[in-house]
């Protein structure tokens, strides 16, 4: 005998399409011999009431999963949400700042380089990152939180940011490394979010720091090994999950046990100044700085080194 929780199939998809997909999936599971289903009867749509177009989109997704069928499904149901139509319309406007921001929100890479070339005529690479790219990613964050974007789309947006930033990066690097203060950067254990960390890297590099970026999912042992290898002046930790903030407390403790008393700078959406002062500072051997964003982090680190 088989039992199935139907709605998992549509997890993460646009709200408007979920019940349709659930109903089509339910229908096919019953045809295939399912004995019992867990459904929410209040929401369940009757298969017979679904249009042929919507059945087709759902069947394509169920039987032929690919980026293409996911995109067709999400775009169709997204068009049913008026607040998202306005975003799509924006991408038709011609000014390169609007076009670049829309490309990030829409996850389309095709015009990114030409938009950047146009923007570079009037803005510096850092201004483009700080204003347009950051605001595009903020919008992605907002839409994701409202359930209007799905994880695969957020990843596509992240790829567009990556492409834009890799194009701008060589234009910002100051080659002389001697006498630069060195910051070791990591996203902590269990956390893959690295867009913020990568922006911090770029902003520090373009403001006279040498940055050693050791990547994502870094535990305290790996961090300590890298500190010994690279001998930085300060350690920067990034983490966007609540559990990452807690792990930063463990890192502070472990560094202290190892006799490492470098200043720490910590950032990421789940952190707050209160948490840092209450939980991390008491465990740390040295100064702990909280940065709400990359620019404030830079100015705090600048004053730390100026004052010492």
Residues that bind ligand B12 (CB under 6 A): 134, 137, 140-141, 144-145, 151, 154-155, 158, 190-197, 199-200, 236, 238, 240-242, 265, 267-270, 291, 293-294, 297
Q: What is the 3-state secondary structure (H, E, C) of the chain?
A: CCEEEHHHHHCCCCHHHHHHHHHHHHHHHHHCCCCEEECCCCCCCCHHHCCHHHHHHHHHHHHCCCHHHHHHHHHHHHCCCHHHHHHHHHCCCCCHHHHHHHHHHHCCCCCHHHHHHHHHCCCCHHHHHHHHHHHHHHHHHHHHHCCCCCHHHHHHHHHHHHHHHHHHHHHHCCCCCCCCEEEEEEEECCCCCCHHHHHHHHHHHCCCEEEEECCCCECHHHHHHHHHHHCCCEEEEECCCHHHHHHHHHHHHHHHHCCCCCCEEEECCCCCHHHHHHHHHHHCCCCEEEECCHHHHHHHHHHHHHHC
Least distance (Å) from ligand B12 to the CB of residue 79? Answer: 22
Q: Which is nearer to ligand B12, 54 or 194 (CB)?
A: 194
Least distance (Å) from ligand B12 to the CB of residue 193? Answer: 4
Least distance (Å) from ligand B12 to the CB of residue 36? Answer: 27
Least distance (Å) from ligand B12 to the CB of residue 139? Answer: 10
Q: Which is nearer to ligand B12, 116 or 149 (CB)?
A: 149
Q: Which is nearer to ligand B12, 119 or 200 (CB)?
A: 200
Least distance (Å) from ligand B12 to the CB of residue 16? Answer: 20
Q: Which is nearer to ligand B12, 77 or 209 (CB)?
A: 209
Least distance (Å) from ligand B12 to the CB of residue 162? Answer: 8
Q: Which is nearer to ligand B12, 59 or 219 (CB)?
A: 219
Q: Which is nearer to ligand B12, 57 or 149 (CB)?
A: 149
């Amino acid at each position: 005998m088989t039992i199935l929780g139907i709605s998992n199939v549509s997890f993460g998809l646009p709200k408007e399409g979920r019940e349709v997909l659930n109903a089509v999936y339910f229908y096919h599971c019953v045809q295939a011999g399912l004995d019992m289903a867990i459904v929410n009867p209040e929401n369940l749509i009757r298969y017979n009431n679904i249009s042929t177009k919507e059945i087709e989109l759902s069947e394509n997704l169920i039987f032929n999963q690919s980026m293409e069928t996911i995109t067709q499904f999400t775009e169709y149901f997204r068009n049913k949400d008026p607040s998202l139509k306005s975003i799509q319309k924006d991408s038709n406007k011609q000014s390169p700042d609007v076009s670049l921001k829309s490309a990030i929100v829409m996850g389309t890479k095709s015009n990114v380089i030409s938009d950047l070339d146009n923007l570079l005529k009037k803005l510096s690479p850092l201004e483009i990152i700080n204003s347009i790219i950051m605001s595009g990613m903020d919008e992605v964050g907002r839409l994701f939180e409202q359930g209007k974007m799905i994880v695969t789309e957020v990843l596509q947006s992240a790829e567009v940011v990556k492409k834009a930033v890799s194009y701008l990066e060589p234009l910002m690097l100051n080659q002389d490394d001697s006498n630069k203060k060195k910051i070791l950067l990591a996203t902590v254990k269990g956390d893959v979010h690295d867009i913020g960390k990568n922006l911090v890297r770029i902003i520090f590099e373009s403001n006279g720091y040498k940055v050693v970026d050791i990547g994502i999912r870094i535990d305290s042992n790996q961090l300590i090994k890298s500190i010994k290898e690279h001998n930085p002046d300060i350690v920067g930790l990034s983490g966007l999950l609540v559990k990452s903030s807690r792990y930063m407390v463990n890192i502070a403790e472990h560094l202290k046990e190892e006799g490492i008393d470098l200043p720490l700078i910590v950032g990421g959406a789940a952190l707050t100044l209160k948490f840092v002062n209450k939980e991390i500072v008491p465990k740390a051997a040295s100064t702990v700085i909280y940065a709400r964003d990359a620019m404030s982090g830079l100015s705090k680190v600048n004053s730390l080194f100026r004052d010492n």
